[in-house]
Amino acid sequence: MMIVSSSEFKTNVGRYLSLLGQEEIIITKNGKRVARLIQEKEDKIAIAKSLIGVLPDTVTKEEAKEEKFKRYESSKLFEPFS
């Protein structure tokens, strides 16, 4: 992680954009973090793992299976007869 001031970033934007593949860049203004630049393609598994413990447990695994089964059963009602 690299921390740069907003004025430094504006002056050397090309340099910092080329460094994004190696590390994320935090931009500060008046000593406070105002932005975080990351490479566009992020590891989706890492993102999901970072949310563990952050998102509330709203649905259990069993509830999700039950909901999926209900949707499957209701979709069978509209199948055309052969």
Is residue 37 one of the residues assigned to a domain?
A: yes
As beta bridge partners, residue 25 has 2, 37
CATH number of the domain that 67 lies in?
A: 3.40.1620.10
Contact (Cβ atoms closer than 8 angstroms) between residue 37 and residue 20: yes
Alpha-carbon separation of residue 5 from 15, 16, 73, 80 (angstroms): 14, 12, 57, 63
Is residue 82 one of the residues assigned to a domain?
A: no
For 14, what's the count of Cα atoms within 13 Å in the CB-facing half-sphere? 0
pLDDT of residue 77: 60
Is residue 81 one of the residues assigned to a domain?
A: no
Mean pLDDT by 10 residues, the chain (82 residues): 93 90 91 89 72 64 79 66 52
pLDDT of residue 47: 73
Please report the sign of the dihedral spanned by the C-alpha atoms of residue 8, residue 12, residue 16, residue 19.
Answer: negative
pLDDT of residue 35: 92
What's the number of domains the chain is made of?
1
Strands 32-37 and 25-29: antiparallel
Residue-number span of the structural domain to which 62 is assigned: 2-76
